[in-house]
Chain A
Amino acid sequence: MNKYNVKFFAPPQYILNLFATNKLCARRIKCEERAVQCELNFDDYLCMQKICEKAQLSYETITIKGAQHALKIAVKKIGAIVGILAVAIGFMIYNSGVFSVEISGNSAISREEIITEITKECGNIYGAFSTIDINSVEQAVLNIDGVSYVSADIVGTRLKINMVEEATKVEIYDTQNYTNIVSLYDGIITTLTVISGTGMVGVGSVVAEGDVLIAAYTLDAEGNEIPTSAEGTATGRVAFEKQITYTDECLVEVRTGESTTVTSINIFGLQSPTTSPYLTYETEINTTLCTAFLSYEISSITYYETAMIVSENNFINNQEVIIEQERAAFFDTLPDDLLYITDWYFVKRLDKMTLLSIYYEVETTMT
């Protein structure tokens, strides 16, 4: 039986009367001026606890002695050790398994197709104590048509597959049926080099998109058309045009300044759900992958409230800057093999809007 050495902070007479009226057995009593220290058994200790709570008496348990207490402590210690071991084993089991697959670099080949192929080659991927072989995984992915490179790795409980697909197949030119070389743009021919076939235009000719530049035949001495492949190059002056309209007023989605950040944990492939408190919002997600001991992802999701407001278009005020930006952006979209000749633009005021037309005249390959 446990013995509790307790000190009660109250006048001795009061405490001793509490023992007497509640029929509690107190031993080794030491009375002080305003405190009593004594020894109680477990039942009496519990009873006194209740009495002290009721009477709002302060007390202090100084020592606990007894075989029962010693056994309790031992059980607690053993329980703690067993608990720690169980948790450690649990972590080991968890970390030894694969619970999610991350595939990057695939566009034409679907994730399902890749996983099916891996499962065929290596068996079940997911589960604790997964003995999945990385080389087999790589080989399985490489066996899929259209994969040129693959690297696989297990990070924590995640199987990461990084792959590169083969480049898209180049167009095969038909060498059996002869075709004409036609103009890609409207423009004026500046050079024409015919290697094979018959040139249909000359330098200075104005051509439209689709006009034949080099025909796929040659003429014999009698003027008969003899089919042949059309080969050669043609360059010309081409004007590229781009038109942009700016309305005087437009709806713009802006952040109201209100934001809420929530944290989501992804563990065992399960992500704790989060919802935005706003009707319209923008989302910003910062994800941290923790694999030091227990593999899990912590995502900090920030929801920014947004609202649609009518904004005045500031085209007129910033006309020069906007035009310069648009010209530069338009120039970047033009063919690479060009020779810049000139450019110009028009700004035309329409009803509640402004029309910006940008022109680039360049010399480029027409075929």
Chain B
Amino acid sequence: MSFFNETLLKLGCSAEDSIGGDKVTLIGGEGCQIEGQKGVAHISLEKIAIKTSKHIICIEGEGLQIVSINGDEALIVGKIASITRTKKCTNI
């Protein structure tokens, strides 16, 4: 079991957060890594919205760029001001 999944179990989170859930790793305010991404909902220098299975993760800041993307992860660089996670039904 991975460290992440162990932590989830200790926190009492549901299994779906571990399997098929999302995970956002903030890297010193200069970038972030989003795991479990399912696509890009919006992209601009000020705002990037990433879809996950059930949520939309909205990153706001300055000079935001997706520098790497694959089937599961997306790496965003730029000066990050805020990260919000909302249910998919919410308009952004």
A28 contact set on B, CB distance < 8 A: 67-68
Shortest CB-to-CB span from A45 to chain B, Å, is 14
A22 contact set on B, CB distance < 8 A: 71
> Is the C-beta of A24 less than 8 angstroms from some C-beta in chain B?
yes
Question: Which of the segments A10-18, A299-307, A308-316 contacts the partner chain?
Answer: A10-18
> Is the C-beta of B24 less than 8 angstroms from some C-beta in chain A?
no
Q: Is B68 touching A20 in the complex (CB atoms < 8 A)? A: no
The chain A residue with its CB closest to the CB of B66 is: A29
> Is the C-beta of B70 less than 8 angstroms from some C-beta in chain A?
yes
CB < 8 Å: which of A17, A27, A29 contacts B39?
A17
Q: Is A19 touching B69 in the complex (CB atoms < 8 A)? A: yes
> Is the C-beta of A184 less than 8 angstroms from some C-beta in chain B?
no
Whole-angstrom distance between the alpha carbons of A270 and B40 in the complex?
Answer: 67
Q: Is B70 touching A16 in the complex (CB atoms < 8 A)? A: no
In the complex with contacts A29-B66, A31-B65, A31-B66, A20-B43 CB distance below 8 A: no
The chain A residue with its CB closest to the CB of B72 is: A23
B41 contact set on A, CB distance < 8 A: 13
Q: Is A26 touching B68 in the complex (CB atoms < 8 A)? A: yes
Shortest CB-to-CB span from B57 to chain A, Å, is 13
CB < 8 Å: which of A21, A23, A29 contacts B67?
A29
Please tell me the number of chain B residues within 8 Å of chain A, measured between CB atoms: 16
Shortest CB-to-CB span from B41 to chain A, Å, is 8
Q: Is A26 touching B69 in the complex (CB atoms < 8 A)? A: yes
Q: Is B39 touching A24 in the complex (CB atoms < 8 A)? A: no
Q: Which residues of A (1-54) have their CB < 8 Å from a CB of B? A: 12-13, 16-17, 19-31
CB < 8 Å: which of A20, A25, A26, A27 contacts B38?
A20
A21 contact set on B, CB distance < 8 A: 38-39
Whole-angstrom distance between the alpha carbons of A13 and B51 in the complex?
Answer: 12
A24 contact set on B, CB distance < 8 A: 70-71
Shortest CB-to-CB span from B39 to chain A, Å, is 5
Shortest CB-to-CB span from A186 to chain B, Å, is 116
Q: Is B67 touching A19 in the complex (CB atoms < 8 A)? A: no
> Is the C-beta of B88 less than 8 angstroms from some C-beta in chain A?
no
Q: Is B37 touching A20 in the complex (CB atoms < 8 A)? A: yes
Whole-angstrom distance between the alpha carbons of A27 and B70 in the complex?
Answer: 9
CB < 8 Å: which of A17, A23, A25, A27 contacts B40?
A17
> Is the C-beta of B87 less than 8 angstroms from some C-beta in chain A?
no
Q: A12, A19, A20, A22: which has the most chain B beta carbons within 10 Å?
A: A20
Q: Is A13 touching B42 in the complex (CB atoms < 8 A)? A: yes
Whole-angstrom distance between the alpha carbons of A24 and B65 in the complex?
Answer: 18
The chain A residue with its CB closest to the CB of B71 is: A23
Whole-angstrom distance between the alpha carbons of A19 and B65 in the complex?
Answer: 15
Whole-angstrom distance between the alpha carbons of A187 and B75 in the complex?
Answer: 124
Whole-angstrom distance between the alpha carbons of A30 and B68 in the complex?
Answer: 9
Q: Which residues of B (36-92) have their CB < 8 Å from a CB of A? A: 37-43, 65-72, 74
Whole-angstrom distance between the alpha carbons of A23 and B67 in the complex?
Answer: 16
A20 contact set on B, CB distance < 8 A: 37-40, 69-71, 74
Whole-angstrom distance between the alpha carbons of A311 and B63 in the complex?
Answer: 95
Q: Which residues of B (14-40) have their CB < 8 Å from a CB of A? A: 37-40
Whole-angstrom distance between the alpha carbons of A20 and B74 in the complex?
Answer: 9
Q: B41, B42, B43, B65: which has the most chain A beta carbons within 10 Å?
A: B43
Whole-angstrom distance between the alpha carbons of A19 and B69 in the complex?
Answer: 7
Whole-angstrom distance between the alpha carbons of A16 and B42 in the complex?
Answer: 10
Q: Is B65 touching A29 in the complex (CB atoms < 8 A)? A: yes
Q: Is B68 touching A29 in the complex (CB atoms < 8 A)? A: yes
Whole-angstrom distance between the alpha carbons of A82 and B38 in the complex?
Answer: 50
Other than the given A17-B40, A20-B39, A31-B65, 6 more pairs (CB < 8 A) read A13-B41, A16-B66, A23-B72, A26-B69, A29-B65, A29-B69
6 contacts between A and B (CB under 8 A): A16-B40, A16-B66, A16-B69, A16-B74, A23-B71, A28-B68
Listed from nearest, the 7 A-B pairs whose CB atoms lie closest are A23-B71, A25-B70, A16-B40, A17-B39, A20-B39, A27-B68, A19-B69
